[in-house]
Amino acid sequence: MTNPLLANWTTQFQMPPFGEITDDDFEPAFDIAIEAARGIITAIANNPEPPTFANTIEALEQGDALLDRVLGIFFNIAGSDSNPKRQELQRNLSPRLAAYSSEITMNPALFARIEALWQRHDDLGLNDEQTRVLMLTRRSFVRAGALLKGDARTRLQEITERLAVLATDFVQNLLADESDWFMELDETGLDGLPDFVLAAARAAGQEKGAKGPVVTLSRSLIVPFLQFSTRRDLRKIAYGAWVARGANGGKTDNRAIGAEILALRQERAQLLGYENFAAFKLETEMAGTPQAVRDFLMQVWEPARAVAMADADVLTEMMQQDGINADLEPWDWRHYAEKRRLAEHNLDESEIKPYLQLDRMIDAAFYCANRLFALEFQPIDAPLYHPDARAWEVKRNGEHMAVFIGDYFARGSKRSGAWCSAMRSQQKLAGDIRPIVVNVCNFAKPADGEASLLSLDDARTLFHEFGHALHQMLSDVTYASISGTSVARDFVELPSQLFEHWLEVPEILEKFATHAETGGPMPRHMLKRLLAARNFDMGFSTVEYLASALVDLSFHDSNAPADPMARQGEVLNEIGMPHAIDMRHATPNFAHVFAGDGYSSGYYSYMWSEVMDADAFEGFEKGGGAFDPVMALRLEKFILSAGGSQDAGELYMAFRGRMPGVDALLRGRGLATT
């Protein structure tokens, strides 16, 4: 029987035949695909013909197409619906992939062909996109060690393979801690919880096989529990378990893994001629240097900390009015912030959530994409990798643009957080290949027959990930290596964070924030209060984020710490971290940084991009409004369709005519001092 991962797919839109794929298909498909890719790479490297852009660079672009297909499906499923077999496969495949990557980048004959092309690139008659791809290809080889010799080359290969193993272990340990822990709630443990939290807790209890409602470490459940539970003792227990993920001792403890990852990154950077890993990593980003990142973050830290400290005084006084004569603790902050929001803005989340139905928020995102970019979304009835996932065909003017898959509900087999990925990327080299884009979230799953209700933060997350999806769907480049979100890390969050702004456009909430039971629109007085409170508790959210970004930078811009937890404590002490606020991601569960190199030294990029997204949305507002067709056209042309075809700074300059300063961000967050 033909392995369905390797067969020619005759499915609608050439979607993966999920109904035919089993876990037993992945490893043999991988074995065949990687050997096929090796054969192609060897043929390119040993081609007796002189190197040309077509027989070297374009051949490389297509060389691992079958492998990309297999891995695109496997890693998407492994992250969103893990099981022991898939975890074992991840552990086995990761070092093999790292070794394969090193074989390519350290193949001297192959690099010689690339270098020969680069040395005469001005004479090759290449267009701008081809020149960019050639430059990026050569740069990636050099940064992967192509110029190293002898023992240094061998050691870098060893480091690359070991880092792949450690990153997989880190993620799987975190998933184990998240999925294993839960706290059963008796009747008194339900005190203060509104109906939507009770429903989520009962559903979680059923999933865990408990006798009644439980609190788990899913953000969609633990955060509202911390907001509403009047049981301070239970909030402390739940919060403690949440922040202790990856630091519970035993086989799932990530602290030693984190230390080894940092040490290996430092060694890797020095082998490549850099003072430290941050200098290596940031060289290709918009920020450029560790000092530029630190200076930027500290511009925001001081005003954010001042606001947070003032807020802490208010919340402490509220707590003392409840008869609790103690310091405000991290497990208290969300609870009293929620009470303060109700008192100051007359906003009760249990009153808001019925107006933020998941299906209506999906409709809202699609509506905005239609108004801005003329995209249309039609549901697809096709087997997917999990019953909770759903799919749509994306069209424009009758033309097929993409397949979009949404996987929105939390489950024990899904890693935490939210993300966007592509099972297939847009490109034109091998024909007009349109993407298959996936958004994965972790919203609380409702009971059967009930609507899924979101918090405002959940709705922002949905819009955020859909902004990434638009970057993939509207990509219009020839080469897959620069397609969609294949851009600088501190530029990749611009489309996602920019799209968040449309959620809070009054017209959108008026149209799509409809009550789950009555179908009526959100009352205007509630809408006004909601928008007036958009920056509520911004000191807290900014401080917890910045602390994580500064710790990440400090891990990588000097010698690797032998004890990352000690370094974390030193950094927080140096910046004057408020006692009642913790880092958004403590080191042992900081998957952004330790699950791979993507956001290492780069967690700052969310805020770097926010400077641009605040400025970009001001451009819409100062023009013809949120749906200004001229600005939408420019956004698509210079940002969303361009992928990595030009330098990120050049793309933004083409879009807005200038680079922004931090002022728009501070105004947007309500942190401006004047």
> Are the C-beta atoms of 493 and 605 separated by less than 8 Å?
yes
Per annotation, catalytic residue among 161, 349, 465, 544: 465
Helix (H, G, I), strand (E, B) or coil at 180: helix
Query: pLDDT averaged over the chain?
Result: 95
User: What confidence tier does 132 reach under pLDDT thresholds 50, 70, 90?
Assistant: very high
pLDDT at res. 233:
97
In order, the DSSP letters of 494-542 are HHHHHHHHHHT-HHHHHHH-B-TTT-PBPPHHHHHHHHHTTTTTHHHHH
Encoding tokens for residue 410?
């939390």
Q: Which two tokens stand for residue 212?
A: 């009644």
Q: Which of 446, 445, 454 is nearest to 514 (CA)?
A: 454
Write down the number of H helices and E strands in the chain: 27, 7
User: What is residue 416's predicted lDDT score, i.e. its pLDDT?
Assistant: 87
CATH 1.20.1050.40 residue ranges of the chain are 12-105+107-143
Q: Output the pLDDT for position 674.
A: 54
Residue 283 is among the residues annotated as catalytic for this protein: no
Q: What pLDDT is recorded for position 320?
A: 96
Q: Does domain 12-105+107-143 have CATH number 1.20.1050.40?
A: yes
Residue 600 confidence (pLDDT) above 90: yes
CB within 8 Å of 623: residues ≥ 6 apart = 630, 631
pTM: 0.94
Average pLDDT of the segment spanning 473-485: 98
DSSP 33-84: HHHHHHHHHHHHHT-SSPP-IIIIIIHHHHHTHHHHHHHHHHHHHHHHS--H
Q: What is each CA distance from 495 to 344, 371, 610, 614, in whole angstroms? A: 33, 16, 10, 11
| pLDDT tens digits along 401-431 | 999 999 999 998 998 899 999 999 999 999 9
pLDDT, one tens digit per residue, over 548-595 is 999 999 999 999 999 999 999 999 999 999 999 999 999 999 999 999
Residue 296 identity (one-letter amino acid): F
